[in-house]
Amino acid sequence: MTLFRGETRAVVSGSATFNPFENPSVPLASVGFDNVWSTRNNDAGQTVTPDTAMGVATFFRCISVLSTLVAASPIEVYRKQEDVTSNHPLLDEANSDMTYTQFELWQLVMVYRLVWGNSFVFKKRGGISGSIIDLKPLHPDFVKVALENGVKCFKVKQRKPDGTQDNTKPPLTFYERDIMHIPGLGYDGLEGLPVVKLMAQTLGTSIAADRLAARFYSKGSQLGGIIKVKVPLSSQNQAEGIKHRWNDAHAGVDNAGDIAVLDAETDYQNITIPPDQLQFLESRRWSTTEVARWFGIPPHIVGDVEKSTSWGTGIEQQNLGLNSFTLDGHTIPIQQRVTREIVGTRGHKAKFNTDRLVRGNLAERYQALITATGGPFMTRTEARKIENLAPKDDPEYDELLPPQGIGPMDEAPGQAKPKKGNSPEE
């Protein structure tokens, strides 16, 4: 049975023995998704699909920013008791056996989560022990979450050789052992809500505004009107000829602002509402702010700086808020799923390292590290690691420094540490 392009599989006791690689380069239109998404469920009358939504600049920017910020943050495995990092082959950037790099994997997981509201990652297993050897994202349009006898399962549609859905074959059933599901916000405990469908009204308005702008510039300074001819026209073809000659002479950006010359038997009446009366620019700015609000993105990150009153602390606080109020809502669910289903060892946890997102400027960071190492609660080796500096081959760098104004850490208060050679034993 064919599930993915160039892939065959045999179902054995509900477990997968094949590689269900989903090629994200296949256009959605070629996979047959248009019938699902093409309903014009918005008052602007526009078709809103994941493809058309990506044509909205602010939407694309929000998806790009959030997915890149998460993907660029390394995911590390910690031993809970000691809170130190340890290596895991599936989360190692140097693992050449993985189909995706770590950045590509988590970026695609984020894109699916942000656009479709759900991310699915197939856990390819191998070897005698059946351990996980690779992680491959599955396209959400191929996966349906269901309950069978109270057990969560995944119905995955099969593929034709050309990569499109094969509706002549029943979907294949997988379980949580085979697929890691990272749902977005939802209310049934199974799936996240489809984000693009929820945003259909906002995105439809944005798409309509873009089309209106394109039409305005393609038609020049006049979007529409009536040419009155004071003598009877002999045929419809004659009317069409006048129309085409008018458009050839006056439509288009190159003819914007040109002067029309009419004879005594012809008159032109403009019936188009001027763009300023349509609040054209204001509606486009509103769309930018509204899409950014959907994703919890500060407007200045998507290029809307009109209402940013300060470029100092105000912008910095917005960036900190992005990490705390938006990114945490995506990184924490991924971390917990990876901890439960991928790391799989008690006493270990996976965590995205997002420290770089809250780092200040160079002077602030150095001053903070000086304070931390002189606190003392951080060694100089730990401080160098934060700045991506190689450790020093000196054991003293692994020791905590005494607080400023206090002697060595093992001195008792008011008692000097005996110097070598002055002890009673010597």
Q: Compute the distance between CA of residue 19 and CA of residue 134 in angstroms, rounded to an integer.
A: 9
CA geometry: angle at 288 spanning 200 and 203, to 5°? Answer: 10
The answer to whether the CB of 138 falls within 8 A of the CB of 108 is no
- Local structure of residue 355 (DSSP, 8 states): G
| CA distance to 91, 129, 153, 262, per residue, from 335 (Å) | 12, 25, 21, 71
Cα gap 328→338, rounded to integer Å: 15
pLDDT of residue 182: 95
pLDDT of residue 374: 76
Can you give the pLDDT at residue 126? 86
Beta strand pairing call for 151-156 and 172-175: antiparallel
pTM for this predicted structure = 0.69
Closest CA to 293 of 115, 110, 59: 59
Q: Are 220 and 252 within 8 A, CB to CB?
A: yes
Could you give the CA distance from residue 190 to residue 298 in angstroms, rounded to a whole number? 30
Give the model confidence (pLDDT) of 58-77 as tens digits.
999 999 999 999 998 888 88
Which residues partner with 102 through β-bridges?
none
Q: pLDDT of the chain along its 426 residues, tens only? A: 444 433 333 333 344 433 333 444 444 444 444 444 544 667 778 889 999 999 998 999 999 999 999 998 888 887 766 556 667 778 877 777 888 999 999 999 999 999 999 999 999 998 888 889 999 999 999 999 999 888 999 999 988 888 788 888 999 999 999 999 999 999 888 899 999 999 998 998 888 888 877 776 665 555 466 767 776 767 777 777 777 777 666 665 455 555 566 665 666 666 565 555 556 667 777 888 899 999 998 888 887 776 655 444 566 677 777 888 889 899 999 999 999 998 876 678 888 888 777 666 667 777 778 888 877 778 888 888 777 677 788 888 888 887 765 555 555 444 555 555 555 454
pLDDT for the residue 400? 83
Do 266 and 228 form a contact (C-beta atoms < 8 A)? Answer: yes
Q: What is the pLDDT of residue 244?
A: 74
CA atoms within 13 A on the CB side of 122: 28
Helix axes 57-71, 102-116, angle to 10 degrees: 140
pLDDT confidence of residue 175 = 94
Q: Which tokens go with 341?
A: 């289903």
